[in-house]
Amino acid sequence: MDIGFIGLGNMGTPMARRLIAAGHRLTVFDTRREAVEQLVALGAAAAASPSDIADKVETVMASLPTPAVVTAVAGEVAKGKKVRRFVDLSTTGSQVAVENAAALAAKNIVQLDSPVSGGVAGAVKGTLAVMVSGPQADIDAVKDALSVFGTVFIIGNKPGMAQTMKLANNFLSATAMAATSEAVVMGVKAGLDPAVMVDVINAGSGRNTATTGKFPNAIIPRKFNLGFATALMLKDVRLCLQEAKTLGVPNEVMSAVLGAWEAANSEIGGDKDFTTVIQPIERRAGVTVGKKS
């Protein structure tokens, strides 16, 4: 199908590549010319702006970093003459999704919330969890294209439902990272080998996504290179806490986890890889979680 794709960052580029490889005809836009040129070399057409894309195709997908950017881009897409469907692959939270959906509906454009989970590696391999909510007819129209990214889960028919699902997922991922960091730092301080700790945890009841992937691949080797920024994870945890408060849900754990990510963001840097969340904990403990010589 003909698809417009806006946002060619760490996640957007591999997703767009997979769409092209699957035979879809893409028109792409990003503020960085070099990112657009990479996709044009693979067969995509370049657009001058989000509204230019929306003049050319009925289905526009977007993979963008923050709720504010998504809202701004959605406003530009709403000016298009041909667009009928806006598929938001970003993480914005349900409130922004509801507001954007209403604004687009005023222009007879349907929004589908379709955040994804699985990281850059999942985007490259096509193994993402793809959550989607919105009118069933529009989901049916794009489901084959979304399945190029991974497994599609239909969450519901109301705007924001898939966003709530994504925030719950990312909160658990953020919690696993923060909690595992404290546990492993504690062990290293006591003289344990972090690699052995991770092996034991993965064979036991503490196994989680941090111990199975992030620690052995990025933290213990001191690579910190999984391609997702600390500021983005902090944004997701903040959105989750905001949603919990809005819904009147207890959030003591969320609040504590938020503190760990705020520390990493302020002390290490929001632009650093999110696996650096362990570094403020290491500094306070006076140890480094790395390979034993």
Burial bucket for residue 39 (CB in 10 Å: 0-12, 13-18, 19+): buried
DSSP 248: T
CA distance 87 to 4: 10
Length of the chain: 293
CA distance 129 to 173: 13
Burial bucket for residue 95 (CB in 10 Å: 0-12, 13-18, 19+): middle
Q: Which residues of 192-228 are buried (b: 16+ CB within 10 A; e: fewer)?
A: eebbebbeebeeeebebebbeebbbebbbeeebebbb
107 part of the active site = no
Active-site residue among 166, 189, 214, 291? 166
CA distance 158 to 172: 23
Residues with a known catalytic role: 166
